[in-house]
Amino acid sequence: MIREKTKNVGPIVIDLTGPNGNAFYLIGLANRLTRMGFNNDRELLERMKSGDYENLIQEFDKAFGSVVILER
């Protein structure tokens, strides 16, 4: 099936069980979103890296939950 491209106007959705759910991807996305102005917390990345994976996704969700939906 071929279809026309549609503009994604909704939030970013990330499946945590898929390839984009790994810690490296989430840290990189957090870095990009911070540079784009979605968050101005300078210590966010350090807090994300300071604990385990669960801590990382909790910190990510607190910072970017309004623009990114994380699915388990």
Q: Which helix (H) or strand (E) holds 13?
A: strand 12-15
Closest to 69 (Cα-Cα) out of 5, 26, 24:
26
- In this prediction, residue 54 carries a pLDDT of 97
- CA 13, CA 16: separation in Å to the nearest integer? 9
Mean pLDDT in the chain?
93
pLDDT category, 34, cuts 50, 70, 90?
very high
pLDDT band per the 50, 70, 90 thresholds, residue 30: very high
- pLDDT over threshold 80, residue 71: yes
